[in-house]
């Protein structure tokens, strides 16, 4: 019993925690064109993109449409 418990504890101690995956940002392409994956460092420029009230209404309408 002692050897089994020691082996289990040693096995658990040997595991190293995995680093969290870097966030992946996918920017959709125009209709018919593929999207592109952006680096996490591009987030500030993507987050600062301008949008209008009509963009918000369109996206709100797409939620039930795709549901």
Smallest Cα–Cα separation from 23: which of 35, 40, 36, 37? Answer: 40
The answer to the question of residue 14 being in a domain is no
Mean pLDDT, range 35-57, rounded to an integer: 83
The answer to the question of residue 1 being in a domain is no
What's residue 18's pLDDT? 78
The answer to the question of residue 15 being in a domain is no
pTM: 0.34
The answer to the question of residue 32 being in a domain is yes
The answer to the question of residue 34 being in a domain is yes
Number of domains within the chain: 1
Q: What is the mean pLDDT of the chain?
A: 78
Q: Which domain holds residue 53?
A: 23-67
- Compute the residue count for the chain: 67
pLDDT digits (tens, 9 = 90+) for 20-37: 777 778 888 999 999 999
Predicted confidence band at 55 (pLDDT cuts at 50, 70, 90)? Answer: very high
């Amino acid at each position: 019993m002692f050897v089994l418990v020691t082996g289990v504890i040693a096995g658990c101690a040997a595991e190293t925690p995995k680093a969290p995956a870097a966030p992946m940002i996918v920017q959709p392409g125009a209709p018919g064109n593929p999207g592109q994956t952006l680096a996490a460092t591009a987030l500030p420029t993507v987050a600062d993109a301008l949008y209008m009230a009509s963009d918000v209404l369109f996206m709100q309408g797409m939620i039930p449409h795709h549901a």
